[in-house]
A and B are shown apart, each in its own frame.
Chain A
Amino acid sequence: MDKIKNNKIFQWLHERYNLEPILEFVEHKQVPMHKHSIWYYTGGITLFLFIIQVCTGILLLFYYQPGVDSSYESVRFLMTKVNFGWLIRSIHSWSANLMVFFAFIHMFSVFFSEAFKKPRELTWVSGFLMLLLAMGFGFSGYLLPWNELAFFATKVGTDIVGDVPVVGELIKQLLRGGPDVTGSTIYRFYAIHVSILPLIFLVVLGLHLLFIQRQGMHEPEFYESLPPEEKHSIPFFPNFFLRDLLFWLLILDVLLFLAVFFPWELGIKADLFSSAPAGIRPEWYFMFMFQSLKMIPAKVLGIEGEILGIVFFGILGLLWLTVPFWETVIAGKKRPWLMKVIGLLAIIYMIALTIIGYLV
């Protein structure tokens, strides 16, 4: 830190703008060091993967041309003719999956360490919103190469949206740009993927980081109750940040390994008038919901099964979003184990249905 303060440019700026408040803001955060500190890195890794998405996404924009007659062709051109085109696309696709994966890990680590509790309710809410946005990125990006698998997955996915009571049909039309998945759908998903979602995501991300910087890191209970001399913590900036960077480097290696040795495939071009091939499935992070919908009978007590399933997941999502607000009512100090059980059940359910989805 002192090195920065002695820096000529810093002093030049400081003389004119008084950087004291900024320094204070950056310096005050401490990161507690204990046996579970490793989980503190998961958020940073997710952030890093998002940065990769923005960079590779912008590179893809230079060649990608949305449209029924150009989407697939432009991606194929990118992959076969453009220098490193295959690599950029492969990184974008792999990093998208890793980003969602780490967002899940990060979320559950926060859940089990109970970092969502007062005063960090809004950090939780903004974090979960970002996970939903990331899934939106994945869903909208999946269609863009306009290959057969993506075409039918999008047909099915948007059809499910159409089953949402009251507003479903309207949203489905808004997403598809008409009654069916066609070229209009590509334009809409493109606009959503490269401009609407990034803008919203950046705002929510900004808030999320602001909250964290303002409130400092959460200290788990066992750490909080230690006598002060046994508490060990390091400054976030620069000490923890440098460790973050080390993890980022590690993740970058993993990412490059996957992107190079398992290059993302393009598949065959979507055809509006050909039968669906076998093996249509959504991306893995939608699988547990998708499989549940499949397993609900067509009619339950006279209500269409799909609708019931959608309402069910809608309510679950809302409950998950508002965890910090009802946790105190049903669990709190009286039943500290209850939230752990709920979290475990959620994980077991998601993993089990995902596995079933891939097996059948």
Chain B
Amino acid sequence: MSVKRRKFLDYILSLGFTGLVGSIIYPALSYLKPPKQAEAAVNSVKAGKVNEIPVNSGKIVRFGRKPVILIRTSTDEFIAFTATCTHLGCIVQYREDKQQIWCACHNGLFDLKGRNISGPPPRPLDPFLVQIIDDEIIIAKPKRMS
């Protein structure tokens, strides 16, 4: 067999082989990539009755698949933010003693406007709207987000 012909065959074979490997790896990788699940279009949730939450306290509320922190401030206002810390995604909590939002993972602090005021978090927490209708607390996505 001439050298040229041998080289040509080598080339064709390696091309075919690469194609084969690719056609095995591609579906395997795509299989591992989690399919996008339609985010249930939650626009508002009920978070319970007003008297269930004491003044100066907070609680975590399910908002679709995301946690939201609902706070009744010491001045008796209801406010809500995403509860996912903007640093590395831990769930934040309300600190009654400081009257601030605190992330235990790396000591991140946010004020009651959601602004990151100390520690590693790089961004503020996104705010949610809170409405009281017939004593029922309703948390809703702000208009510009939805």
Q: Does B104 contact A (CB under 8 A)?
A: yes
A174 to B34, CA, bound (A): 7
A170 to B85, CA, bound (A): 21
A304 to B61, CA, bound (A): 31
Per-position binary interface string of chain A over residues 41-69, scored 1 when its CB falls under 8 Å from any chain B CB and 0 otherwise: 00000000000000000000000000000
A277 to B85, CA, bound (A): 13
Q: Is B32 a contact of A174 with CB atoms below 8 Å?
A: yes
Per-position binary interface string of chain B over residues 74-94, scored 1 when its CB falls under 8 Å from any chain A CB and 0 otherwise: 000000000101001111110
Q: Is B91 a contact of A298 with CB atoms below 8 Å?
A: no
A304 to B62, CA, bound (A): 30
Which candidate, A151-159, A253-261, A326-334, A337-345, is the interface stretch facing chain B?
A: A151-159
Which chain A residue shows the least CB distance to B103? A276
Q: Is A177 a contact of B34 with CB atoms below 8 Å?
A: yes
A275 contacts which of B32, B34, B92 (Cβ < 8 Å)? Answer: B92
Q: Does A322 contact B (CB under 8 A)?
A: no
B60 contacts which of A177, A274, A279 (Cβ < 8 Å)? Answer: A274
Residues of chain A contacted by B37 (CB below 8 angstroms): 178
Q: Is A280 a contact of B67 with CB atoms below 8 Å?
A: no
Can you list 15 A-B pairs, Cβ within 8 angstroms, ordered by A? A155-B88, A155-B90, A156-B88, A156-B90, A160-B88, A173-B33, A174-B34, A178-B34, A273-B61, A274-B60, A275-B60, A275-B93, A276-B90, A280-B105, A298-B120
Q: Does A13 contact B (CB under 8 A)?
A: no
Q: Is B105 a contact of A275 with CB atoms below 8 Å?
A: no
Residues of chain A contacted by B93 (CB below 8 angstroms): 275-276
Q: Does A226 contact B (CB under 8 A)?
A: no
Residues of chain B contacted by A276 (CB below 8 angstroms): 85, 90-93, 103-105
Q: Is A273 a contact of B90 with CB atoms below 8 Å?
A: no
Q: Which residues of A contact B (CB under 8 A)?
A: 152, 155-156, 159-160, 170, 173-174, 176-178, 180, 184, 272-280, 294, 298-299, 304
Q: Is A273 a contact of B60 with CB atoms below 8 Å?
A: yes
Report the interface size for chain B: residues with CB under 8 A from the other chain.
24
Per-position binary interface string of chain B over residues 3-42, scored 1 when its CB falls under 8 Å from any chain A CB and 0 otherwise: 0000000000000000000000000000011100100000
SS class of chain B's interface: helix, strand, loop or mixed?
A: loop
Q: Does B142 contact A (CB under 8 A)?
A: no
Q: Is A272 a contact of B67 with CB atoms below 8 Å?
A: yes
A274 to B120, CA, bound (A): 21
B91 contacts which of A176, A275, A304 (Cβ < 8 Å)? Answer: A275
Residues of chain A contacted by B105 (CB below 8 angstroms): 152, 156, 276, 280
Q: Is A273 a contact of B67 with CB atoms below 8 Å?
A: yes
Residues of chain B contacted by A275 (CB below 8 angstroms): 60, 69, 83, 91-93, 104
Q: Is A273 a contact of B62 with CB atoms below 8 Å?
A: yes
- Nearest-CB distance from A301 to chain B (Å)? 15
- 10 new A-B contacts at CB < 8 Å, known A273-B62, A275-B60, A275-B69: A152-B105, A156-B88, A159-B88, A176-B34, A184-B34, A273-B61, A276-B85, A279-B104, A298-B120, A304-B122
A180 to B63, CA, bound (A): 14
Residues of chain A contacted by B61 (CB below 8 angstroms): 273
Residues of chain B contacted by A176 (CB below 8 angstroms): 34
- Nearest-CB distance from B96 to chain A (Å)? 13
Q: Is A278 a contact of B104 with CB atoms below 8 Å?
A: yes
Residues of chain B contacted by A160 (CB below 8 angstroms): 88
6 nearest A-B pairs in the assembled complex, by CB-CB distance: A275-B93, A276-B90, A159-B88, A156-B88, A278-B104, A276-B104
